[in-house]
Amino acid sequence: MRNVALILATLFLVAATMQKTNRLPKDLKEISGWVFANDSTLIAHNDGGNDPKIFVLNLNGSIRHKISVTNAENTDWEDIALDEKSIYIGDFGNNNNTRTDLKILKVSLKKVLDNQDVEAKFIEFSYPEQKEFPPKLAEKQFDCEAMSFYNDSLYLFTKCRSEPFDGKCYVYTLPTKPGTYKAQKKYYMVIGKRDWFRDAATAADIRDGKLVILTYNRIIIHSFENGRAKYESHQTMLPITQKEAIAIHPNGKIYVADERQKIVGGGNMYIIKPAPSAKGHRK
Protein backbone atom coordinates (compact mmCIF):
# COMPACT_ATOMS: atom_id res chain seq x y z
CA MET A 1 0.00 0.00 0.00
CA ARG A 2 1.61 3.21 -1.21
CA ASN A 3 1.33 6.98 -0.85
CA VAL A 4 0.43 7.06 2.84
CA ALA A 5 3.50 8.77 4.30
CA LEU A 6 2.07 12.30 4.33
CA ILE A 7 -1.19 11.11 5.90
CA LEU A 8 0.58 9.13 8.60
CA ALA A 9 2.90 12.02 9.41
CA THR A 10 -0.02 14.25 10.40
CA LEU A 11 -1.41 11.95 13.10
CA PHE A 12 -1.12 13.00 16.76
CA LEU A 13 0.86 10.39 18.72
CA VAL A 14 -0.32 9.75 22.26
CA ALA A 15 1.23 6.48 23.41
CA ALA A 16 4.72 5.29 24.19
CA THR A 17 7.04 4.66 21.25
CA MET A 18 7.50 1.02 20.37
CA GLN A 19 11.08 -0.16 20.68
CA LYS A 20 12.66 -1.40 17.46
CA THR A 21 15.15 -4.23 17.44
CA ASN A 22 16.98 -4.27 14.09
CA ARG A 23 17.22 -2.26 10.88
CA LEU A 24 16.12 -4.25 7.83
CA PRO A 25 18.28 -4.37 4.68
CA LYS A 26 17.49 -1.88 1.91
CA ASP A 27 16.47 -4.81 -0.29
CA LEU A 28 13.43 -5.08 2.00
CA LYS A 29 12.54 -1.38 2.10
CA GLU A 30 8.97 -2.18 0.99
CA ILE A 31 8.48 -5.35 3.02
CA SER A 32 4.81 -6.32 2.91
CA GLY A 33 4.67 -9.80 4.40
CA TRP A 34 6.64 -12.44 6.24
CA VAL A 35 6.10 -15.82 7.93
CA PHE A 36 8.14 -18.30 9.96
CA ALA A 37 9.33 -21.41 8.14
CA ASN A 38 10.89 -22.72 11.36
CA ASP A 39 12.18 -21.29 14.63
CA SER A 40 15.25 -19.72 12.97
CA THR A 41 13.97 -18.73 9.52
CA LEU A 42 11.63 -16.04 8.20
CA ILE A 43 10.40 -15.89 4.61
CA ALA A 44 9.47 -12.44 3.30
CA HIS A 45 8.53 -10.42 0.23
CA ASN A 46 8.18 -6.81 -0.88
CA ASP A 47 5.10 -4.81 -1.85
CA GLY A 48 3.65 -4.45 -5.34
CA GLY A 49 5.76 -3.04 -8.17
CA ASN A 50 8.94 -4.73 -6.96
CA ASP A 51 10.64 -7.77 -8.47
CA PRO A 52 8.90 -11.14 -7.91
CA LYS A 53 11.44 -12.25 -5.33
CA ILE A 54 11.17 -14.24 -2.12
CA PHE A 55 13.65 -13.50 0.68
CA VAL A 56 14.85 -16.08 3.21
CA LEU A 57 15.92 -14.29 6.39
CA ASN A 58 17.73 -14.99 9.61
CA LEU A 59 16.05 -14.10 12.90
CA ASN A 60 17.80 -10.72 12.99
CA GLY A 61 16.30 -9.76 9.63
CA SER A 62 19.48 -10.25 7.60
CA ILE A 63 19.10 -11.90 4.21
CA ARG A 64 20.28 -15.50 3.94
CA HIS A 65 19.36 -15.74 0.27
CA LYS A 66 16.74 -14.57 -2.22
CA ILE A 67 15.11 -16.40 -5.10
CA SER A 68 12.91 -15.45 -8.05
CA VAL A 69 9.44 -16.63 -9.00
CA THR A 70 10.15 -17.13 -12.68
CA ASN A 71 6.62 -17.15 -14.11
CA ALA A 72 4.93 -14.36 -12.15
CA GLU A 73 4.93 -10.62 -11.63
CA ASN A 74 4.54 -8.72 -8.38
CA THR A 75 1.39 -6.80 -9.21
CA ASP A 76 0.51 -6.20 -5.57
CA TRP A 77 1.91 -8.86 -3.26
CA GLU A 78 0.47 -8.19 0.20
CA ASP A 79 0.90 -11.18 2.53
CA ILE A 80 2.41 -14.64 2.79
CA ALA A 81 1.47 -17.94 4.44
CA LEU A 82 2.71 -21.51 4.39
CA ASP A 83 1.86 -25.10 5.21
CA GLU A 84 4.21 -28.07 5.51
CA LYS A 85 5.13 -28.16 1.81
CA SER A 86 4.13 -24.89 0.16
CA ILE A 87 4.40 -21.12 0.39
CA TYR A 88 1.41 -18.97 -0.56
CA ILE A 89 1.84 -15.35 -1.66
CA GLY A 90 -1.24 -13.17 -1.93
CA ASP A 91 -1.24 -11.05 -5.09
CA PHE A 92 -4.56 -9.51 -4.07
CA GLY A 93 -3.85 -5.89 -3.14
CA ASN A 94 -6.86 -3.99 -4.50
CA ASN A 95 -6.84 -0.41 -3.18
CA ASN A 96 -9.41 0.85 -5.67
CA ASN A 97 -11.53 -2.33 -5.69
CA THR A 98 -11.10 -2.56 -9.47
CA ARG A 99 -9.00 -5.72 -9.96
CA THR A 100 -10.39 -8.74 -11.75
CA ASP A 101 -7.12 -10.72 -11.67
CA LEU A 102 -6.81 -11.57 -7.96
CA LYS A 103 -4.60 -14.55 -7.28
CA ILE A 104 -2.44 -16.42 -4.78
CA LEU A 105 0.88 -17.88 -5.87
CA LYS A 106 1.74 -21.37 -4.61
CA VAL A 107 5.43 -22.36 -4.64
CA SER A 108 7.61 -25.11 -3.17
CA LEU A 109 8.79 -24.43 0.38
CA LYS A 110 11.69 -26.88 0.00
CA LYS A 111 13.02 -25.20 -3.13
CA VAL A 112 12.86 -21.77 -1.54
CA LEU A 113 14.75 -22.97 1.54
CA ASP A 114 17.28 -24.71 -0.74
CA ASN A 115 17.93 -21.46 -2.63
CA GLN A 116 16.35 -22.56 -5.91
CA ASP A 117 14.27 -20.32 -8.18
CA VAL A 118 10.68 -21.50 -8.40
CA GLU A 119 7.68 -21.54 -10.71
CA ALA A 120 4.31 -20.75 -9.19
CA LYS A 121 0.98 -22.44 -9.53
CA PHE A 122 -2.01 -20.15 -9.16
CA ILE A 123 -5.11 -19.99 -7.01
CA GLU A 124 -7.26 -17.47 -8.88
CA PHE A 125 -10.32 -16.08 -7.17
CA SER A 126 -13.04 -13.47 -7.02
CA TYR A 127 -15.38 -12.15 -4.36
CA PRO A 128 -18.90 -13.33 -5.27
CA GLU A 129 -20.46 -10.31 -3.54
CA GLN A 130 -18.67 -7.84 -5.82
CA LYS A 131 -20.78 -6.96 -8.87
CA GLU A 132 -19.20 -3.65 -9.93
CA PHE A 133 -15.55 -2.66 -10.49
CA PRO A 134 -15.29 -0.41 -8.57
CA PRO A 135 -18.37 -0.77 -6.37
CA LYS A 136 -20.16 2.15 -4.72
CA LEU A 137 -18.05 3.95 -2.13
CA ALA A 138 -20.03 2.47 0.76
CA GLU A 139 -19.36 -1.05 -0.61
CA LYS A 140 -15.60 -0.89 -1.09
CA GLN A 141 -14.80 -3.98 0.97
CA PHE A 142 -12.73 -5.94 -1.57
CA ASP A 143 -9.16 -4.91 -0.80
CA CYS A 144 -7.02 -7.45 1.09
CA GLU A 145 -3.58 -7.26 2.69
CA ALA A 146 -3.82 -10.06 5.28
CA MET A 147 -3.74 -13.85 4.91
CA SER A 148 -2.83 -16.96 6.89
CA PHE A 149 -3.12 -20.75 6.65
CA TYR A 150 -5.40 -22.69 8.98
CA ASN A 151 -6.76 -26.27 8.83
CA ASP A 152 -6.15 -26.89 5.12
CA SER A 153 -7.54 -23.52 4.02
CA LEU A 154 -6.27 -20.03 3.35
CA TYR A 155 -7.94 -17.32 5.44
CA LEU A 156 -8.16 -13.81 3.98
CA PHE A 157 -8.88 -10.74 6.12
CA THR A 158 -10.05 -7.76 4.08
CA LYS A 159 -8.99 -4.12 4.42
CA CYS A 160 -11.90 -1.72 4.72
CA ARG A 161 -12.02 1.03 2.07
CA SER A 162 -15.66 2.04 2.44
CA GLU A 163 -16.81 5.65 2.61
CA PRO A 164 -18.06 6.36 5.19
CA PHE A 165 -15.55 4.13 6.92
CA ASP A 166 -17.18 1.35 8.97
CA GLY A 167 -14.07 -0.64 9.99
CA LYS A 168 -15.42 -4.03 8.92
CA CYS A 169 -12.86 -6.75 8.21
CA TYR A 170 -14.46 -9.60 6.26
CA VAL A 171 -13.08 -13.11 6.68
CA TYR A 172 -12.95 -15.25 3.53
CA THR A 173 -11.55 -18.72 2.89
CA LEU A 174 -10.04 -20.40 -0.15
CA PRO A 175 -8.71 -23.91 -0.81
CA THR A 176 -4.99 -24.45 -1.25
CA LYS A 177 -5.33 -26.42 -4.48
CA PRO A 178 -4.54 -24.41 -7.63
CA GLY A 179 -7.64 -23.51 -9.63
CA THR A 180 -10.26 -20.80 -10.01
CA TYR A 181 -12.65 -20.14 -7.13
CA LYS A 182 -15.16 -17.82 -5.56
CA ALA A 183 -13.92 -16.91 -2.09
CA GLN A 184 -16.27 -18.03 0.67
CA LYS A 185 -17.29 -15.31 3.13
CA LYS A 186 -17.46 -16.54 6.73
CA TYR A 187 -18.15 -13.47 8.94
CA TYR A 188 -16.78 -10.04 9.69
CA MET A 189 -15.04 -8.28 12.56
CA VAL A 190 -15.02 -4.57 13.32
CA ILE A 191 -11.41 -3.46 13.73
CA GLY A 192 -12.36 0.14 14.61
CA LYS A 193 -14.37 2.95 13.09
CA ARG A 194 -11.92 5.82 12.70
CA ASP A 195 -10.11 5.47 9.35
CA TRP A 196 -8.23 2.96 7.19
CA PHE A 197 -4.74 4.00 8.34
CA ARG A 198 -5.56 3.16 11.98
CA ASP A 199 -8.41 0.65 11.84
CA ALA A 200 -7.78 -1.55 8.81
CA ALA A 201 -5.99 -4.91 8.62
CA THR A 202 -2.56 -4.83 6.95
CA ALA A 203 -1.33 -8.36 7.83
CA ALA A 204 -2.30 -11.46 9.80
CA ASP A 205 -0.93 -14.72 11.16
CA ILE A 206 -2.44 -17.76 12.88
CA ARG A 207 -0.50 -20.13 15.15
CA ASP A 208 -1.35 -22.38 18.10
CA GLY A 209 -4.89 -21.13 18.55
CA LYS A 210 -4.00 -17.45 18.19
CA LEU A 211 -4.81 -14.98 15.43
CA VAL A 212 -2.90 -11.70 15.29
CA ILE A 213 -4.06 -8.86 13.05
CA LEU A 214 -1.81 -5.90 12.33
CA THR A 215 -2.77 -2.29 11.64
CA TYR A 216 -0.48 0.70 11.24
CA ASN A 217 -0.73 1.44 14.97
CA ARG A 218 -1.35 -1.81 16.83
CA ILE A 219 -1.47 -5.59 17.07
CA ILE A 220 -4.87 -7.12 17.81
CA ILE A 221 -4.73 -10.57 19.42
CA HIS A 222 -7.56 -13.09 19.15
CA SER A 223 -8.15 -16.66 20.17
CA PHE A 224 -8.86 -18.68 17.04
CA GLU A 225 -10.79 -21.94 17.11
CA ASN A 226 -12.73 -23.71 14.37
CA GLY A 227 -12.10 -20.76 12.08
CA ARG A 228 -13.68 -18.21 14.44
CA ALA A 229 -11.88 -15.28 16.00
CA LYS A 230 -12.56 -13.98 19.50
CA TYR A 231 -10.92 -10.75 20.63
CA GLU A 232 -8.51 -11.04 23.58
CA SER A 233 -6.31 -7.95 23.72
CA HIS A 234 -4.34 -5.43 21.74
CA GLN A 235 -0.98 -3.71 21.93
CA THR A 236 -0.41 -0.20 20.61
CA MET A 237 2.72 0.46 18.52
CA LEU A 238 3.66 4.07 17.98
CA PRO A 239 4.76 6.04 16.07
CA ILE A 240 2.37 5.09 13.31
CA THR A 241 4.36 3.74 10.35
CA GLN A 242 3.56 1.57 7.37
CA LYS A 243 3.51 -1.73 9.25
CA GLU A 244 2.53 -4.50 6.84
CA ALA A 245 4.26 -7.69 8.02
CA ILE A 246 3.48 -9.81 11.08
CA ALA A 247 4.45 -13.35 12.11
CA ILE A 248 4.15 -15.42 15.28
CA HIS A 249 7.36 -17.19 16.27
CA PRO A 250 6.96 -20.77 17.59
CA ASN A 251 7.87 -19.41 21.04
CA GLY A 252 4.85 -17.07 20.93
CA LYS A 253 6.69 -13.80 20.37
CA ILE A 254 5.35 -11.61 17.58
CA TYR A 255 7.62 -10.22 14.86
CA VAL A 256 6.53 -7.06 13.01
CA ALA A 257 8.14 -5.11 10.16
CA ASP A 258 7.38 -1.75 8.57
CA GLU A 259 8.15 -0.29 5.17
CA ARG A 260 10.81 2.41 4.91
CA GLN A 261 9.40 5.90 4.25
CA LYS A 262 11.35 9.17 4.10
CA ILE A 263 8.80 11.16 6.12
CA VAL A 264 7.43 8.74 8.74
CA GLY A 265 10.45 6.45 8.98
CA GLY A 266 10.27 2.68 9.18
CA GLY A 267 12.39 -0.06 7.68
CA ASN A 268 12.70 -1.81 11.02
CA MET A 269 11.81 -5.09 12.65
CA TYR A 270 10.21 -5.34 16.08
CA ILE A 271 9.77 -8.22 18.49
CA ILE A 272 6.81 -8.05 20.85
CA LYS A 273 5.99 -10.30 23.77
CA PRO A 274 2.17 -10.30 24.05
CA ALA A 275 0.75 -8.82 27.23
CA PRO A 276 -2.79 -8.22 28.49
CA SER A 277 -4.35 -4.89 27.48
CA ALA A 278 -7.47 -2.92 28.22
CA LYS A 279 -10.72 -4.00 26.61
CA GLY A 280 -11.66 -2.50 23.28
CA HIS A 281 -9.87 -2.49 19.95
CA ARG A 282 -8.77 1.12 19.79
CA LYS A 283 -6.03 2.98 21.52
Summarize the confidence of residues 160-185 as an average pLDDT. 97
Using CA atoms, how far apart are residues 157 and 170, in angstroms rounded to an integer? 6
Q: Can you give the pLDDT at residue 262? A: 86
Does residue 179 lie within any of the structural domains?
yes
Label residue 195 exposed, middle or buried (CB < 10 Å: 0-12, 13-18, 19+): middle
Read off the CATH number of the domain in which 130 is found.
2.120.10
pLDDT digits (tens, 9 = 90+) for 24-60: 999 999 999 999 999 999 999 999 999 999 999 999 9
Q: Can you give the pLDDT at residue 210? A: 97
In DSSP terms, which residues pair with 192 in a beta bridge?
none
In DSSP terms, which residues pair with 99 in a beta bridge?
none
pLDDT at 19 over 80: no
Beta sheet of 168-175, edge-to-edge order: 143-150, 153-159, 168-175, 184-190
Q: Got the DSSP string for 240-271? A: ---EEEEEE-TTS-EEEEE--BTTTB--EEEE
Q: Is 227 left (phi over 0), alpha (psi -120 to 50) or beta?
A: left
List, in sequence order, every beta strand (DSSP E) within 69-183: 77-82, 86-91, 103-108, 121-126, 143-150, 153-159, 168-175, 179-182
pLDDT at 140 over 70: yes
Label residue 224 exposed, middle or buried (CB < 10 Å: 0-12, 13-18, 19+): buried
pLDDT at 127 over 50: yes
Task: Give the count of domains, the chain.
Answer: 1
- Give the total residue count for the chain: 283
For residue 67, give its domain range. Answer: 5-272
Do residues 124 and 180 make contact, with C-beta atoms less than 8 angstroms apart?
yes
pLDDT at 169 over 80: yes
Does residue 59 lie within any of the structural domains?
yes
pLDDT at 103 over 70: yes
Does residue 87 lie within any of the structural domains?
yes
pLDDT at 2 over 90: no
Q: What is the pTM of this model?
A: 0.92
Q: Quick one: how far is CA 146 from the chain centroid?
A: 4
In DSSP terms, which residues pair with 38 in a beta bridge?
41
Does residue 279 lie within any of the structural domains?
no
Does residue 171 lie within any of the structural domains?
yes
pLDDT digits (tens, 9 = 90+) for 146-156: 999 999 999 99
Query: Which of 47, 44, 41, 96 is CA-nearest to residue 67?
Result: 44
Residue 168's pLDDT band (boundaries 50, 70, 90)?
very high
pLDDT digits (tens, 9 = 90+) for 226-270: 999 999 999 999 889 999 999 999 999 999 999 999 888 899 999
pLDDT digits (tens, 9 = 90+) for 196-215: 889 999 999 999 999 999 99
Does residue 131 lie within any of the structural domains?
yes
Does residue 172 lie within any of the structural domains?
yes
Parallel, antiparallel, or unpaired: how do β-strands 179-182 and 121-126 relate?
A: parallel
Using CA atoms, how far apart are residues 57 and 213, in angstroms rounded to an integer? 22
Query: Which of 61, 26, 23 is CA-nearest to residue 41?
Result: 61
pLDDT at 281 over 60: no
Does residue 116 lie within any of the structural domains?
yes
